[in-house]
Amino acid sequence: MEEEKLTGSEETSAAKANGLSEVNRGVAWDGCSVLLDINDGDRLVFSRLSPSASIKIGNKKCSLRPLVGCPFGSLFTVETGPSGPHLSRSAPSSTGNCVEEISKDEGQSVNEIRDNRSLIDNNTAQSLSSEDIEAMRSEGATGDEIVKALIANSSTFEKKTVFSQEKYKLKKQKKYAPKVLLRRPSMRSICETYFKKHPQRTGFMRVDTLSMLLSMANVGPYSDALVLDKLGGLVVGSVAERVGGTGYICSTYFGTVPYQIDIVRMFNLSSDVCARILQAPFSDLSPLQNAPSECAMSDPSDVRPGSPETAQPDPSNELLQDGDSLLDSRDNGDDTLTGQKPVKPGRKAPPEIVKSWKDNGFTSLIIAAPEMDVESLIMDLLPLLAYSAPFAIYHQYLQPLATCMHKLQASKMAIGMQISEPWLREYQVLPWRTHPHMQMNAFGGYILSGIRISNSNTGGVIEDKAA
């Protein structure tokens, strides 16, 4: 059997085609976008590793410089040094091992039955005061040492079950020895973070729903994907990440002002990929229009979605670090390794590309505009799709999709239609403690999917597309 291994040069070209040029995808670089996970998901912050970037944990402000050059997935703790608090790379969490020890000891824990019948919650169990703890800290005690001391000085700790002790320890660790995990932003982490912390900004788009939209719309290499994204760019970024540096992503809009797609900038997409993300008003794409219309953007080659005419970015977006906005127009950290001037995603689509879209048709259509009238959107955008191209529409309400599906069936513009409601449940899998999570999200939206077909009954060869 033939087994291929990518050679070094093939890997580099693979990485290039991946849209990441020579940058090692696994290591944080100067100026890259990162997702900081503080205390196992308690707090999630998007940031950019610029020279002035910092993060505030508790009451300590730490620079993010130590993160540059570290692999994504690295863990950091806050340590106090001579020049103040700083982030220091630390060993991976040991909680995994604790759980294993529990499973070995499970025979023992079953025999000595512990429960909480005699535990009284009156705040007298801990004999260390907050002053004692501060004193320890100023003497240079690490967070882990403080946690050990708290356990030793707790009168009720020994009476707890092993699981309860574990929970107690984790709780104290979060407070006195907070951990910062450096995560790589990707469609999954960006979608999950917004869904968890600010779902209204991304139209309550859940990660399984977004995954299905991408699959149903057959997003892949050489796609010419038409996207109507009113979720801040989450969909455009996800499509672009999946298409890579081939094909095009056309982010379209109605009216004269492009929709804001700033979330795209969190994806760390390379210049090659960003160059493929274009914006075009529907009026330019519509087959009734022959010449591109005048639009509010005067300079077609340097359009940015954050320009004054568009809706202003929400200044109170807590997901972005204070004073270190991802929307900073002075930011020039992209692609420092290749030395290229970074291409901003979302430049105006050049006329020759618009013409090719009209001649060939788009190969995918995704609509994610929960506030808009989905029926009129699909009637306008579906004719821009090539025949046999799939579409997927995300909406929060069932009735408009039902009406839409009916209309498409009656007008014979599409087949294979389905209204789907994705369902997602997460499980806790631990020895003796396996069960679904106590909290569950109840709703991830609806999707209307289908395939555009030619409703012409003529039996000839390729017709003029204008038919």
Partner 1 sequence: MTMMVAVDDAQKLSFKRPIGDGDTVIVYERHDCMRAVTVSPGSELQNRFGVFKHSDWVGKPFGSKVFSSKGGFVFLLAPTPQLWTLVLSHRTQILYLPDISFVVSCLEIVPGCVVLESGTGSGSLSTSLARAVAPSGHLFTFDFHEQRASSARADFQRNGLTSLITVTVRDIQGEGFPKQHEGSVDAVFLDLPQPWLAIPSASRCLKPDAVLCSFSPCIEQVQRTCETLRSSFTDIRTFEVLVRSYEIKEHCFAKSVSEEDGSPVGPPPQKRKQSTLPANKSEKTESNFSVMAKPCNTARGHTGYLTFARLTVLSN
Nearest to 57 by CA among 85, 27, 91, 94: 85
Candidate ranges 159-167, 255-263, 313-321, 420-428; the one touching partner 1 (CB under 8 A): 420-428
The residue within the footprint of partner 1, chosen from 224, 229, 262, 334 (CB under 8 A), is 224
- Measured N-to-C along each axis, helices 187-197 and 234-243 cross at an angle, to the nearest 10 degrees, of 160
457 lies in the site for partner 1, by CB under 8 A: yes
Site string for partner 1, 233-252 (x = CB under 8 A): --------xxxxxxx-----
CA distance 431 to 101: 10
Which residues touch 420 (CB under 8 Å, ≥6 apart)?
212, 446, 447, 449
Candidate ranges 73-81, 117-125, 132-140, 226-234; the one touching partner 1 (CB under 8 A): 73-81
Candidate ranges 170-178, 205-213, 226-234, 331-339; the one touching partner 1 (CB under 8 A): 205-213
The residue within the footprint of partner 1, chosen from 127, 155, 256, 360 (CB under 8 A), is 360
| Residue (137 or 407) nearer to partner 1, CB | 407
407 lies in the site for partner 1, by CB under 8 A: yes
Q: How far is the CB of 241 from partner 1 (least distance, A)?
A: 6
CA distance 360 to 349: 16
What is the footprint of partner 1 within residues 375-394 (CB under 8 A)?
386-390
Sign, CA dihedral 218-261-14-354, equals positive
69 lies in the site for partner 1, by CB under 8 A: no
Q: Tell me the DSSP string of 29-57.
A: -TT-EEEEEETTTTEEEEEE--TT-EEEE
Q: How far is the CB of 328 from partner 1 (least distance, A)?
A: 26
53 lies in the site for partner 1, by CB under 8 A: no
424 lies in the site for partner 1, by CB under 8 A: yes
**Alpha carbon 63 to chain centroid, angstroms:** 24
Candidate ranges 58-66, 151-159, 258-266, 396-404; the one touching partner 1 (CB under 8 A): 396-404
54 lies in the site for partner 1, by CB under 8 A: no
Burial class (CB in 10 A: 0-12, 13-18, 19+), 339: exposed
Q: How far is the CB of 434 from partner 1 (least distance, A)?
A: 6
CA distance 304 to 314: 16
Candidate ranges 78-86, 298-306, 345-353, 404-412; the one touching partner 1 (CB under 8 A): 404-412
Q: How far is the CB of 240 from partner 1 (least distance, A)?
A: 10
Q: How far is the CB of 440 from partner 1 (least distance, A)?
A: 11
The residue within the footprint of partner 1, chosen from 52, 127, 134, 222 (CB under 8 A), is 222
288 lies in the site for partner 1, by CB under 8 A: no
What is the footprint of partner 1 within residues 5-44 (CB under 8 A)?
5-6, 11, 13-20, 26
CA distance 406 to 375: 10
| Residue (157 or 387) nearer to partner 1, CB | 387
Q: How far is the CB of 143 from partner 1 (least distance, A)?
A: 16
What is the footprint of partner 1 within residues 303-342 (CB under 8 A)?
none
What is the footprint of partner 1 within residues 130-189 (CB under 8 A)?
184, 186-188
| Residue (199 or 436) nearer to partner 1, CB | 436
355 lies in the site for partner 1, by CB under 8 A: no
Q: Which two tokens stand for residue 159?
A: 């009476």
Q: Which two tokens stand for residue 340?
A: 């290229």
365 lies in the site for partner 1, by CB under 8 A: no
CA distance 346 to 341: 15
For residue 343, give the 3-state DSSP assignment: coil
| Residue (260 or 268) nearer to partner 1, CB | 268
Candidate ranges 3-11, 54-62, 160-168, 253-261; the one touching partner 1 (CB under 8 A): 3-11
Nearest to 170 by CA among 136, 143, 137: 143
Please state whether beta strands 277-281 and 347-348 pair in parallel, antiparallel, or not at all (unpaired): parallel
What is the footprint of partner 1 within residues 74-133 (CB under 8 A)?
74-75, 89-93, 96-97, 99-100, 103
Q: Which two tokens stand for residue 107?
A: 């025979």
Print the SS3 string covering 139-206: CCCCHHHHHHHHHHCECCHHHCCHHHHHHHHHHHHHHHCCEEEEECCCHHHHHHHHHHHCHHHHCCCC
359 lies in the site for partner 1, by CB under 8 A: yes
Q: Which two tokens stand for residue 226?
A: 């038409």
CA distance 139 to 148: 15
